[in-house]
């Protein structure tokens, strides 16, 4: 569901009159809401594209189920973050309209319309996928479909493994309605005495988190036969309520608002503030109630009333399996024929030799451009930090930490560095959404090990991805750096497409010294940056200046070209500048993964702009910003998307990529993705997308598949050259 262009006379383009034979030009009011799409609806449109991957028969079956479960996870987050935030605005009677002219309540209502349509299609597809899985001997069955011996086996399993974990809670004047935790599965059980008519209502929380028991319980060890956790409970209620008649057993689930933090002008203790916000989130208002299709209208109304939500709008009926993100357990089944061909990240082709030190390699053969997951995160980024932690010539390490994995080697290398006497400073972002608790843990852990931990600048999230190493080389102090587009998380580095730069460029080193001083001081005296484009002070200003420069150069007869790859494009000022560039004749290619509020292809306004979105086995997460600059090509990579929050309320770092060989690699990435005929979608002016389909003679593989192939070829060629050079060295030694 997308909005259509309005024909309102107050915002339609005006025609400027000219003399006889003069060209009549349309004048667009770039502040008018009709030229912008809605952020919430644009993001939901992205989920339609993900949903299409779960329908696409070209994808292996378990990969289709993966995309299917991603939709469930995405919608959970959408309700927690976006709907939660909009409901807060409604409650606060916020009158400010969105960029496209909608009130908060209009955005909620229209989002609900799209979501209900998407859920209807998702539930229909669920039946198809379950049937296809059954055809591959992977069955998720109702408890009643089990054989009697299997039911007896599950009853024993229930008594031994589940029953001790359950805490049934009555609901009556002596037992008030219980607290329902976010995204937990719950059974509403109605019981009565055999000789009585009074019905008792009870709640049982399904303890799927932290118990070691999967949501999908395997019935037979030699078969892929599963029954749901809640089904096992529901069919053994006689053990929980002995002697009682079970009138009904109905499943429900709630979603709570995740927007609880406050942005103080001054925070005496940021750590305490975040801990308080996490406690508030636990008890935050309900934004959605999901109920199974068998729940009575009476029980739906009772739950809605107790939870304080609108029973007509905020209750969603689920016909299939509730909490579809849990299908990830089934996705993990080891059946290679039902998955994509396994991809093992390779060593970077220039980091695969026998150099004893990565710092020597960066100094002698660098800089290096890393592309994950095609190239290994472990043998590049982790190696960089590992060697820094033990190299006796390394004096100091500084880095930003936004998200990392639970068993992170990154943390261990920082601890090793501190133990080895190096000066280590880490800027931990405590307000990384849904990772606050983990980051508080890491911050405390690092501090206890003697590492200097700071939390960035009050009022700004630190979203940058930077490791900074100071080393005493043979010719004095030298600064080395990794600047990336993705988090320092080995797990996501295998499934997210990201870029990184390993460099010892002296100007970048000087800039990073200033940058980390800004982060650790917490305020911003005047700082001069030669190459880096940090936000919030410099990045947006520079992007707008570079767009203006392309317009000026194009007007002088030099063809202008702007090509960007980003996750989201929502900042109105930047979109307006791109519209102006397009009107001036500058060609603009935008590869935008999800939310894009710019409307391409509008005559007189944006017919020189094309927008594509890529969906594939890897989540496209990298950011590249290219300007033709009258033939003096400029390429930048970094952590920032083109969103108001990234440009004005976050600390981001964008770095130039200047080496010709690295520019050529970025050019290859851009060209591959623009030419993709497998996973690419073309955006239309109304915000909808059309999937590309390869012609018979066109390349049918996606840009991601081709990137795997090209990384393999680069590494093979590098090894071939290395062997050739090594053979020459051996021959020289023999001749001597």
Indicate which residues carry an active-site annotation.
Answer: 463
User: What is the Cα–Cα distance from 86 to 104, expressed in whole angstroms?
Assistant: 5
DSSP-derived secondary structure for 129-183: HHHHHHHTTEEE--GGGS-HHHHHHHHHHIIIIIGGG---EEEBTTBPPPP--TT
C-alpha separations of 20 from 17, 23, 24, 180, 604 in Å = 10, 9, 10, 73, 20
Judge contact between 247 and 190, C-beta under 8 A: yes
Burial tier of 107 (Cβ tally within 10 Å: 0-12, 13-18, 19+): buried
**CA atoms within a 13 Å half-sphere pointing along the CA-CB vector of 170:** 10
User: Cα torsion at 29, 35, 36, 42 (round to 10°)?
Assistant: 180
Q: What are phi and psi of 14, to 5 degrees?
A: -95, 155
Alpha-helical segments (H) within 257-357: 270-282, 297-307, 328-331
Cis peptide before 572 (omega within 30 of 0): no
Closest CA to 315 of 288, 352, 276, 277: 288
User: What is the Cα–Cα distance from 565 to 594, expressed in whole angstroms?
Assistant: 11
Taken in order 656, 425, 375, 47, the sign of the CA dihedral is negative
User: What is the Cα–Cα distance from 425 to 429, expressed in whole angstroms?
Assistant: 13
Judge contact between 462 and 400, C-beta under 8 A: yes
User: What is the Cα–Cα distance from 382 to 137, expressed in whole angstroms?
Assistant: 40
User: What is the Cα–Cα distance from 431 to 348, expressed in whole angstroms?
Assistant: 33
User: What is the Cα–Cα distance from 413 to 703, expressed in whole angstroms?
Assistant: 34
Judge contact between 287 and 182, C-beta under 8 A: no
């Amino acid at each position: 569901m997308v909005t259509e262009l309005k024909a309102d006379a107050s915002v339609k383009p005006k025609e400027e009159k000219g003399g006889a034979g003069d060209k009549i030009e349309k004048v667009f009011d770039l502040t008018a809401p009709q030229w912008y799409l809605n952020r919430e609806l644009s993001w939901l449109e992205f989920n339609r594209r993900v949903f299409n991957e779960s329908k696409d028969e070209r994808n292996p079956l378990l990969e289709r189920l993966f995309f299917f479960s991603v939709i469930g996870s995405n919608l959970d987050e959408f309700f927690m973050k976006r709907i939660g935030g909009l409901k807060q605005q409604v409650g606060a009677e916020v009158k400010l309209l969105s960029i496209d002219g909608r009130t908060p309540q209009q955005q909620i209502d229209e989002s609900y319309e799209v979501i209900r349509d998407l859920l209807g299609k998702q539930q229909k597809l669920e039946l198809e996928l379950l049937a296809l899985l059954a055809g591959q001997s992977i069955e998720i069955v109702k408890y009643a479909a089990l054989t009697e011996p299997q039911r007896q086996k599950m009853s024993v399993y229930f008594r031994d493994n589940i029953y001790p974990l359950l805490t049934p809670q009555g609901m009556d004047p002596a037992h008030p309605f219980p607290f329902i935790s976010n995204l937990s599965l719950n059974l509403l059980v109605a019981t009565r005495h055999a000789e009585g008519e009074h019905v008792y209502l009870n709640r049982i929380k399904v303890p799927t988190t932290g118990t070691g028991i999967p949501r999908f319980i395997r019935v037979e060890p030699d078969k892929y036969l599963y029954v749901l956790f809640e089904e096992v409970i529901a069919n053994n209620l006689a053990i929980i309520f002995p002697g009682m008649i079970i009138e009904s057993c109905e499943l429900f689930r709630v979603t709570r608002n995740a927007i609880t933090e406050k942005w103080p002008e001054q925070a005496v203790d940021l750590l305490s503030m975040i801990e308080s916000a996490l406690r508030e989130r636990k008890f935050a208002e309900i934004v959605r109630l999901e109920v199974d299709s068998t729940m009575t209208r009476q029980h739906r109304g009772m739950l809605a009333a107790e939870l304080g939500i609108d029973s007509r709008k905020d209750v969603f009926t689920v016909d299939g399996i509730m909490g579809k993100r849990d299908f990830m357990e089934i996705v993990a089944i080891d059946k290679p024929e039902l998955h994509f061909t396994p991809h093992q990240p390779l060593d970077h082709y220039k980091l695969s030799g026998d150099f004893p030190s990565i710092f020597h390699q960066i100094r002698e053969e660098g800089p290096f451009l890393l592309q994950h997951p095609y190239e290994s995160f472990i043998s590049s980024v982790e190696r960089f930090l590992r060697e820094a932690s033990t190299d006796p010539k390394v004096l100091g390490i500084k880095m930003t930490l936004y998200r990392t994995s639970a068993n992170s080697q990154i943390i261990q290398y920082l601890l090793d560095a501190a133990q080895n006497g190096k000066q280590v400073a880490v800027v931990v972002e405590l307000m990384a959404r849904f990772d606050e608790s983990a980051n508080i843990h890491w911050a405390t852990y690092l501090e206890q090990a003697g590492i200097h931990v700071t939390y960035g600048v009050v009022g700004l999230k630190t979203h940058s991805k930077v490791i900074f190493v100071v080393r005493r080389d043979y010719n004095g102090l030298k600064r080395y750096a990794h600047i990336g587009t993705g988090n320092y998380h080995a797990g996501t580095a295998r499934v997210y497409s990201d870029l990184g730069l390993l460099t010892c460029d002296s100007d970048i080193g000087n800039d990073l010294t200033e940058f980390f001083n800004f982060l650790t001081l917490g305020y911003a005296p005047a700082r001069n940056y030669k190459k880096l484009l940090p936000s919030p002070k410099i990045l947006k200003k520079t992007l707008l200046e570079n767009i203006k420069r392309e317009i000026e150069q194009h007007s002088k007869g030099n063809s202008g070209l702007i090509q960007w790859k980003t996750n989201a494009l929502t900042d109105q000022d930047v979109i307006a500048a791109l519209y102006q560039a397009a009107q001036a004749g500058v060609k603009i290619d935008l590869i935008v993964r999800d939310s894009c509020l710019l409307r391409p292809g509008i005559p007189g306004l944006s017919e020189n702009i094309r927008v594509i979105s890529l969906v594939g086995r890897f989540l496209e997460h990298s950011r590249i910003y290219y300007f033709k600059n009258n033939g003096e090509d400029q390429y930048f990579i970094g952590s920032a998307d083109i969103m108001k929050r990234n440009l004005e309320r976050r600390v981001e770092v964008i770095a130039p990529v200047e080496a010709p060989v690295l520019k050529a690699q970025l050019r290859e990435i851009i060209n591959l993705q623009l030419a993709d005929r497998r996973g690419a979608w073309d955006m239309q002016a109304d915000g909808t997308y059309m999937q590309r389909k390869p012609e018979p003679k066109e390349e049918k593989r996606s840009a991601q598949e081709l990137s795997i192939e090209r990384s393999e070829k680069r590494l093979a060629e590098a090894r071939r050259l290395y062997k050739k050079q090594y053979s020459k060295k051996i021959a020289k030694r023999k001749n001597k």
